[in-house]
Structure 1
């Protein structure tokens, strides 16, 4: 038999809104998304929420639950006390469209700016070969479901709207790191692009992005910090600098 729990859900649009109070039935084993669906079915049929798989794999149902960026479908009601009020709000870093739905097009715009994988010119499709160790090295980053919780919690994006033009965010940094360490990627300017065009230097490695990742990707330790180190080595290491001058590979920084 279910119990009645108190919810506060943000309702509004790009012109403003407020938290609305609801008392909703909650049954054993349910997640927050179940309750949002029950609200739609019984009390707020016009409540807008984005979702798709309800299995933690599509990344659609990102929101903030009691102030913490989470997936609605992966947050169990059993994690809250019976007397606790559950507050559900849209993610803060992106413009609100309506209710819990936000405009995350910023992330797709940044994705389009990412230089695509460039296969070796001397190999035809079907001739690509990789060592298993190289496959495993970047496999962690392929788990990203693009929920953009890391983008939302990153204070460079979240608290400074003016940074968005010059900052791609942690989701794009793991993609840049993945391509940079790919043995078959023919581009040699991934580090320069991350530094000059994606704003890698803005990140001060607070690890907030890693903490909210539902796929437990070590974004900071395994992608951002190594990428920063490779940028420094390439740009400031005197031996590397001299080698690039000798072999005339420094034009890209001009």
Structure 2
């Protein structure tokens, strides 16, 4: 059985806009993206929304629903009461282009700053050999669909615009961790994670993990292990003494 739902949708650009109320028909089994499409077809043909696969695999339709960062295509209408007002707004951390579409170019800038996979110099393409046990830890991170919901909810950049230059966010710290754990990657990424990507600014509140649609344990399996590796490098007294002796002998 269908019913009429009350929607409140952000309309406008980054410098000016407002929440506009709509009443839209809902049918059984639909998701929020279905309702946004119906709204475009029946009442607001100029409503801007980014989407592609409608299957939770492209990460395009990221937005905030009742204040929670979510994928429009993976949020079922059955999770809301029929008389509930559903508020749909763009991701708050990024500049609004128009309506529900945000400028996520910050993330691509940060992606380019991550040093690429660095295999052994004498290893030729086609000669890579790894056991499954060697890649199990980092394989989880490959499920990322780059919806940037973790970036959006991370309060280090969500609430502090000034941190964006120094902090890459959970998605790209996870990428650094993935490469650091890769059995064939030869680059030492511990100092880079701390000094260039701002790992120390993360205070492991797990808000990134909570909104991940792929259920990646970003905090427990990527960020905390990287913090442990950095701490082992910089603050372990045995390592500290070894570095001092090595530098003295080298001098």
TM-score grouping bracket, smaller chain normalisation: over 0.9
Task: Report the CA distance between 1:245 and its aligned residue.
Answer: 4.5
Distance in 2 (alpha carbons) for counterparts of 1:213 and 1:122: 38
Deviations 1:63-121 (A, max 9, x none): 00000000000000000001101000001000000000000000000000000001101
Corresponding pairs, count:
247
Distance in 1 (alpha carbons) for counterparts of 2:129 and 2:244: 32
Tell me the distance in 1 between the aligned counterparts of 2:137 and 2:206: 20
Aligned position for 2:38: 38
What does 1:104-115 align with in structure 2 at a 5 Å threshold? 104-115=104-115
- Residue 227 (structure 1) aligned with residue 226 (structure 2): yes
What is the distance in 1 between the residues matched to 2:212 and 2:92?
16
- Does the 8 Å CA contact 2:63/2:70 hold for their aligned counterparts? yes
Residue 238 of structure 1: how far off its partner (Å): 2.0
Change (3 A) 1:128 1:246: farther
* Whole-angstrom distance in 1 between the partners of 2:140 and 2:214: 9
CA shift, 1:127, in A, is 1.0
Q: Is the 8 A contact 2:135 2:183 kept in 1?
A: no
Relative to structure 2, which stretch is displaced further, 114-123 or 69-78? 114-123
Displacement of 1:149 after TM fit? 0.4
Q: Which runs of 4+ in 1 moved over 6 A?
A: none
SS of 1:165's equivalent in the other structure is coil
TM-score (norm 1): 0.95
- 1:206 matched to 2:205? The reply is yes
Gaps of 5+ in 1: 249-254
Matched with 2:160 is 160
Aligned to 1:193: 192
Q: Write the mapping of 1:52-67 to structure 2, written as runs, cut at 5 A.
A: 52-67=52-67
User: CA 1:209–1:44 in 2, change beyond 3 Å: closer, same or farther?
Assistant: same
* Distance (whole Å) between structure 2 residues aligned to residue 40 and residue 245 of structure 1: 65
Q: Give the deviation of 1:196 after TM superposition.
A: 0.2
Quote how far apart the aligned CAs of 1:247 are. 5.0
* Change in 2 beyond 3 A, CA 1:183/1:243: farther
1:89-168 maps to which residues of 2 (within 5 A)?
A: 89-168=89-168
Residue 236 (structure 1) shift: 1.4
Larger displacement relative to structure 2 (33-42 or 124-133): 124-133
Cα distance in 1 between the residues matched to 2:114 and 2:245: 29
Q: Structure 1 residue 136: deviation in Å?
A: 1.4
Quote the Cα distance in structure 2 between the aligned partners of 1:208 and 1:233.
Answer: 25
Gaps of 5+ in 2: none
Report the alpha carbon displacement of residue 152 of structure 1 after superposing the two structures with TM.
0.4
SS in structure 2 of the partner of residue 166 of structure 1: coil
